Amino acid sequence: MDLTLIVVLVIALALFFDFTNGFHDTANAMATPIATGAMKPKVAVTVAAVLNLVGAFLSTEVAKTVSGGIIREGDGGVQISPEMIFAGLIGAVVWNMITWLRGLPSSSSHALFGGLIGAAVVGAGVSSVDFSVVLSKVVLPALLAPLIAGLVGYTATRLAYTITRRRDDKSERGGFRYGQIFTSSLVALAHGTNDAQKTMGVITLTLIASGALGAGSGPPLWVVVVCAFAIALGTYTGGWRIIQTMGGGLTEVKPTQGFAAEASTTATVLASSHLGFALSTTQVASGSIIGAGLGRRGSKIQWSTAGKIVAAWFITLPASAAVGAVAALIATLGTPGLVVDAVVGVVVIGGIFLLSRRRPHEQGAAMEVDVAATSVLSRRRARRLEKRGRIDTPASGVEAPFVRLDEAAPTVAPRGTLSGGTRPDKEENR
Amino acid sequence: MIDWSAFVVVALVSLFSAAALVSLYSLGLRLLTLEGRSTARAAAGYACFVVCALGVLYGIYLIVPGLHG
């Protein structure tokens, strides 16, 4: 067996996984600031990319195991071969591309776990997988993360609206935009320190398995550098489809909600990573946004979108496991199998990319930048007009389809005709 | 199996820290945008933002492994 070929393939694929991880997770940090106009889309992804790059260099510790205990590896367990890592990465990358095409935020680590499980089942049998760890590390957290983040996001949003409630119809909630810049930057930095490290771990463990590095050694500098740049480049590319889903597909996000949601995401992610109960950042971020949506009276949650996202979380593991298993099966043919795997993988990834270009009416990558930029511009323009007393709220046009049927539509009435008093829908429009 | 006590701790800490940060920031905004602002109000408003900034710095401290070993 050609050990150098497989090592090169694993490194290349791991870096591509790192890249997909970056653009998959830009949305966690930057979807709400982009949606509220706190940062322009290009500025937001640039800030996120730089913070991911910095974060990757700050993470010093690299995981001792590839799968984090899901596969019984190491002493007395199975040896995870480079072929299994390769097949697992194919599963993870393909699933990341599919969810990106559909604009669904899903956990990249879960995709990697799934791919490895599939590869391990084929390579070493079902007994090599510790299903109780799968339950406690993947399945239950996927249920709990959105619940806890939703509760935190809801509470934070209600508090923010209660504290800034005013009797005169003037709102200064635009000030929450500045706060969003800080909270979302923290999420991006945390992402860099956590996720680049996973790829560094995969590459380092592969190098150790191939004998290029001594057992127990840390990642060489070049591994750190390329992983950092791969995740930063992916982040900069921006998964606009996922940003759209999280920034506007779940619920229309106002600055107050955006700030509350990002603060909840930051608090929950930091608490979970430092108090010993790991939660997926993607799932926490989605939960916070839903919670923030529930917290503003008069806002609507698109539950069908939320349902699709949750369904994707639960399919992630088995789906990437299936792809990983098939890839591992082909890889058992030896070097020709690896080449077939690599070629098929490239074709599938290229095909998904082409598919994303062929449906620009849905969410073409280039178009989305324009759409996002225009929406920011038009909000600004709308605010300017609002100050001159021409129209009443920046988002009246957006709001219109979601006006509640049980109330007269207050958002379309010109501001001048509204008498004082409290009007929740109106009051909380920012 | 799942560590429920750790889960409850994470839930409570997240809830309180997010609520505290958002409340302080909102209070700061509120104090600075009140009609007829006085020096005392402005000072209180800025104090709220300073505490928020400290919260963000603590977040960075937690994120960067080199800072807390």
Q: Residue A13 CB: number of other CB atoms within 10 A?
A: 23
Q: Is A61 on the interface with B (CB under 8 A)?
A: yes
Chain A residues with CB inside 8 Å of B60's CB? 186, 189
In the chain, the amino acid numbered A221 is L
In this prediction, the answer to ipTM > 0.90 reads yes
Report the distance separating Cα A129 and Cα A78, nearest Å: 9
Count of residues in chain B: 69
Q: Tokens representing A376?
A: 């920011």
For A192, nearest residue in chain B (alpha carbons): B63
Q: Do the chains contact at B23 and A159, CB–CB below 8 Å?
A: yes
Residue A78 pairs in a beta bridge with: A73
The CA distance from A348 to A341, in Å, is 10
Contacts of A140 in chain B (CB under 8 A): 2
What crossing angle do the helices spanning A255-274 and B39-63 adopt, rounded to 10°? 40
Q: How close does chain A come to B48, measured CA to CA in Å?
A: 12
- Please tell me the distance from the alpha carbon of residue B4 to that of residue A311, in angstroms, as a whole number: 24
> What pLDDT is recorded for position A261?
93
Q: How far is B3 from chain A (nearest CA, A)?
A: 8
B36: left (phi over 0), alpha (psi -120 to 50) or beta: left
Q: How far apart are CA A45 and CA A425, in angstroms?
A: 32
Contact B18 A276 (CB under 8 A): no
Instruction: Give the residue from chain A lying closest to B6, CA to CA.
Output: A277
Contacts of B2 in chain A (CB under 8 A): 135-136, 140
Range list of β-strands (E), A327-374: none
Q: How confident is the model at residue B34 (pLDDT cuts 50, 70, 90)?
A: confident
Comparing alpha-carbon positions, the chain A residue that sits nearest to B63 is: A190
At A299, is the secondary structure helix, strand, or coil?
coil
Alpha helices in A255-302 (DSSP H): 255-274, 281-295
Separation between Cα atoms, residue A62 and residue A203, nearest integer Å: 10
B12-38 mean pLDDT: 86
Enumerate the residues of chain B whose CB falls inside 8 A of the CB of residue A164. Answer: 26, 29-30
CA–CA gap between residue A52 and residue A39 (Å, rounded): 17
pLDDT attached to residue A184? 92
Report pLDDT digits (tens) over A22-45. 988 898 889 999 988 888 888 999
Q: Which of A62, A197, A266, A430 to mutate to test the interface with B (most CBs of B within 10 A)?
A: A266
Q: Contact B63/A55, CB-based, under 8 Å?
A: yes
Residues A36, A380: Cα–Cα separation, whole Å: 11
- pLDDT for res A63: 67
Which residues on B lie below 8 Å from A279 (Cβ)? 10
Q: Which value, to the nearest 10 degrees, does the dihedral of the CA atoms of residues A39, A152, A18, B68 take?
A: 100
Band (pLDDT 50/70/90 cuts) for residue B18 is: very high
Q: Specify the 3-state DSSP secondary structure of A103.
A: coil
Residue with tokens 């810049």, as numbered in its chain: A181
Burial of A306 (C-beta count, 10 Å sphere; 0-12/13-18/19+):
buried
Residue contact A155–B15, C-beta within 8 A: yes
Q: Which residue of A has its CA nearest to B31?
A: A164
Partnered with residue A71 across adjacent β-strands are A129
**CA nearest neighbour of A393 among A408, A373, A378, A371:** A378
A267 and B18 within 8 Å at the Cβ level: the answer is: yes
Which of these, A44, A109, A56, A112, lies nearest to A84 by C-alpha position?
A: A112
User: Radius of gyration of chain A from Cα atoms?
Assistant: 23
What is the model's pLDDT at position A153? 94
- Chain A interface test: which of B1, B27, B29 (most A C-beta within 10 Å): B29
pLDDT at A357: 80
Question: Which among A157, A260, A267 is the nearest to B14, CB-wise?
Answer: A267
Residue stretches of chain A with pLDDT short of 50: 1, 361-374, 376-378, 389-427
Give the pLDDT confidence score for residue B69 in this predicted structure.
62
- What sign results for the dihedral spanned by CA atoms A200, A201, A206, A208? positive
* pTM, full prediction: 0.80
Helix axes A281-295, A140-163, angle to 10 degrees: 40
Nearest Cα to Cα of residue A212 among A404, A7, A360: A7
| Contact between A100 and A242 (Cβ < 8 Å) | yes
- Helices (H), ranges, A37-139: 41-58, 82-101, 108-124, 131-134
**Alpha-carbon separation of residue A72 from A14, A216, A251, A317, B7 (angstroms):** 21, 18, 41, 17, 25
Tell me how many residue pairs between chain A and chain B have CB atoms under 8 A apart: 126
Q: Which residue has the tokens 């806002």?
A: A299
Residues of chain B contacting A59 with CB distance shorter than 8 Å: 65
**B chain contacts of residue A151, beta-carbon cutoff 8 Å:** 11, 15
**What pLDDT score does A368 carry?**
46
Instruction: Name every chain B residue with its beta carbon within 8 A of the beta carbon of A193.
Output: 63-65
Give pLDDT, residue B35: 67
